[in-house]
Amino acid sequence: MDKKNILLVDDHKIVRDGIKAMLEDELHYQVVAEADSGKKALELLKEVAVDLIIMDISMPDMDGIACTKEIKSHYQDAHILILTMLNEEQHIRTLVEAGAKGYILKNSGKEELLKAIEATLQGDNYFSEAVARVIMMDLVSRNQPKSLKKEPIPVTDRELEVLALIIKEFTNQEIADQLFLSVRTVDTHRRNLLEKTGVRNTAGLVKFALQHHLLKDRL
């Protein structure tokens, strides 16, 4: 299997060195480029083909939010894993909307880093437990928009089962194994959920489920 190429974007060299150290013995991943700002990252992406971008939020010249938006505007299928601090919940919401897929804390260990990398590369969302808790607390604390006070969305029990496992960060294959379904069937349920809720991606499903309390008896 070919190694997946990774671009590290963080203005702290010690953070980049730490991530490289955790990945140096991994057979499937290799760091091929580094940048200390969003602008440098955009320049490198014109020269180096990468499979995953691991990026900090707070950086000089261009922060992770602006850089994520710029990357997604030019490379729609780019896989972006964000490094966050717990006091950056407002930024996390913005990055979800911008299209970043993974979110882990800077003090995460190797095991969680590898899980986040794998999930993000597969196109799934990955929220570290602490980050997911921040997002849920924020959603619960906000007033429910008037636009949400409509007739209930006709979601089936099976779709709710799939949705509950999506919230728990299961991949399509893991959901299929858990519910004794084919991966194709799981993907169909996921597409149906997107169509019924009117959201564009898995992150939107997470937000929709929490806002509508769809899974209050299942999580």
Tokens in use for 164?
């509950």
Indicate the domain borders of the chain.
4-139, 143-212
**pLDDT: is 214 or 82 the higher one?**
82
| Overall CATH class of domain 143-212 | mainly alpha
Name 168's Cβ contacts closer than 8 Å, sequence gap at least 6: 219
- State how far the Cα of 17 lies from the Cα of 141, in Å rounded to an integer: 38
Q: Where are the beta strands (DSSP E) in 24-119?
A: 29-35, 52-56, 80-84, 102-105
Same fold, 4-139 and 143-212: no
Instruction: Please tell me the CATH superfamily of domain 4-139, with its number.
Output: Response regulator (3.40.50.2300)
Residues ≥6 apart with Cβ < 8 Å to 211: 139, 144, 145, 148
Q: Of all residues in the chain, what percent are helix, strand and coil, respectively (each to 5)?
A: 55, 15, 35
Please write the tens of the pLDDT for every residue from 25-67: 888 999 999 999 999 999 999 999 999 999 999 888 898 989 9
Which DSSP string do the residues of 139-168 spell out, in sequence order? HHHSPPPGGG-SSPP---HHHHHHHHHHHT
Spatial contact of 22 and 110, defined as CB atoms under 8 Å apart: yes
The pLDDT tens digits of the residues spanning 76-109 come to 899 999 988 755 666 777 887 888 888 888 888 8
For 132-187, how does the pLDDT look when each residue is reduced to its tens digit (9 = 90+)? 766 666 655 554 454 444 445 677 888 888 988 888 888 999 999 999 999 999 98
